[in-house]
């Protein structure tokens, strides 16, 4: 399944509903810039290895480009184009004065040492330095990148510029210009939106059963937030294992097990299940927090959940979307559900360029001020156009993008 084809289909569906200006549609159907580079990295054994890297700058009508960089063996140009397009939509949905971009390196980071990852990170900055910067394009962490990698990138850029330029990337450690609340922002924003969706569906949180696919940063934090709020987490999945307990999982113990063993596999009191079984579970909420195209036409028909909250980017194919809508499943789309990450990235950038840093309480309050009104606006549009929340999110974003583009063309 081609992620970029999926993205363009989503664009065209929403554009048709609102009769989007043809010039605006043409501009949004292609990225503004695609930059590719080969990154030479000297490995610890002395050999030189070349890594393919991409940066797609999709649209800057509403402000500087913004979007993560992922280190993953399955990165390809179509995926990066799709992700950069979704970032353009996402920043507009939550009304940030930013555009959309995405980057990727074709690499298995688990096969590299820390020093090799550092050299790769610094090589990425050297290659893409002409097109990034606090007023041009502000990268951030994504799959298999983290605050340490962002600090190496900020340091490399600052050295090349000859001055501190912390605002070049976000998602940095607190000790080096990071924002409080950034490490949990994606899950926190998703949690805030999920609470609104649960109310609208008339569910009792204490009786709500949840399955979370993906137990990295976003998935594990979401599990903790829901567990603390009283929901029952019955299933979890990471890249190696899927576990289930009808009685509910003790998330604090799961986190400790994952920390010690590196995997969910072997967690006491849970049984292993297949991915097919995972999507057939009798739960109220499913949270995909892994990779793209996890819910497709083959497994969507078996889903019994009332709500799907997309913490991952592009986890549901268009065919699955249609099936889920017909089944009455409320899909809270990625461009809204996981926008907490880019929102707090924006807050971090503001703090960097103003040299004025916020408390965790201020960050969380400001995040809520963006997420809840955005959800409410999307919900209203869905009612007005009698459509699903994904299409409604796109309509909201496209109306904002159309205004910004039309004053410039």
Q: Which long-range contacts (CB under 8 A, 24 or more apart) does 262-266 make?
A: 263/238, 264/215, 264/236, 264/237, 264/238, 264/240, 265/240, 265/241, 266/241
Q: What angle do CA 323, 325, 331 make, to 5 degrees?
A: 110
Identify whether the C-beta of residue 345 lies closer than 8 Å to the C-beta of residue 138. Answer: yes
Q: Look up residue 18 and give its two tokens.
A: 């609102």
Catalytic one of 90, 102, 172, 306 = 102
* 251-261 vs 217-229: helix crossing angle, rounded to 10: 150
Q: Look up residue 342 and give its two tokens.
A: 């880019």
Distances (CA, A) of 356 to 170, 216, 359: 15, 30, 10
Measure the CA–CA gap between 35 and 204, rounded to whole angstroms: 48
Listing DSSP states for 274-327 in one string gives -HHHHTT---SEEEE-S-SS-B-HHHHTT---SEEE--SSS-B-HHHHHHHHHT
Within 10 angstroms of residue 16's Cβ, the number of other Cβ atoms is: 11
CA 98 to chain centre: 16
What is the residue whose two structure tokens read 């949905």?
93
- Active site annotation includes 102: yes
Active-site annotation, residues = 102
């Amino acid at each position: 399944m081609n992620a970029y084809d999926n993205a363009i289909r989503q664009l065209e569906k929403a554009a048709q509903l609102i009769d989007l200006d043809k010039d605006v549609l043409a501009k949004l159907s292609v990225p503004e810039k695609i930059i590719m580079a080969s990154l030479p990295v000297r490995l610890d054994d002395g050999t030189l290895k070349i890594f393919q890297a991409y940066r797609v700058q999709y649209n800057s009508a509403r402000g500087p480009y913004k979007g993560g960089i992922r280190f993953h063996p399955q990165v390809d140009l179509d995926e990066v184009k799709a992700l950069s397009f979704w970032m353009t939509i996402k920043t507009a949905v939550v009304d940030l004065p930013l555009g959309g971009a995405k980057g990727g390196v074709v690499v298995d980071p688990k096969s590299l040492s820390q020093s090799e990852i550092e050299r790769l990170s610094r090589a990425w900055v050297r290659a893409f330095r002409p097109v990034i910067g606090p007023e041009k394009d502000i990268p951030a962490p994504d799959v298999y990148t983290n605050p340490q990698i962002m600090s190496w990138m900020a340091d490399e850029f600052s050295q090349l510029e000859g001055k501190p330029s912390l605002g070049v990337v976000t998602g940095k450690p607190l000790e080096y210009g990071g924002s409080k609340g950034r490490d949990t922002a994606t899950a926190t924003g998703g949690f805030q939106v999920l609470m609104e969706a649960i109310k609208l569906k008339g569910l009792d949180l204490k009786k709500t059963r949840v399955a979370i696919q993906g137990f990295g940063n976003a998935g594990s934090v979401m599990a903790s937030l829901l567990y603390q709020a009283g929901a029952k987490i019955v299933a979890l999945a990471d890249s190696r294992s899927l576990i289930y307990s009808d009685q509910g999982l003790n998330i604090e113990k799961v986190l400790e097990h994952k920390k010690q063993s590196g995997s969910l596999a072997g967690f006491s009191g849970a049984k292993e299940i297949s991915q097919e079984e995972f999507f057939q579970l009798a739960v109220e909420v499913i949270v995909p927090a892994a990779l793209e195209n996890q819910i497709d036409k083959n497994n969507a028909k078996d889903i019994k959940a009332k709500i799907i909250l997309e913490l991952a980017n592009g986890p549901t194919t268009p065919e699955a979307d249609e099936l889920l809508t017909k089944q009455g499943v409320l899909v809270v789309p990625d461009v809204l559900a996981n926008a907490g990450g880019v929102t707090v990235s924006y807050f971090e950038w503001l703090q960097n360029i103003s040299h004025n840093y916020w408390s965790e309480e201020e960050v969380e309050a400001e995040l809520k001020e963006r997420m809840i009104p955005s959800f409410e606006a999307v919900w209203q549009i869905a009612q007005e156009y009698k459509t699903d929340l994904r299409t409604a999110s796109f309509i909201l974003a496209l109306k904002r993008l159309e205004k910004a583009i039309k004053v410039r063309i």
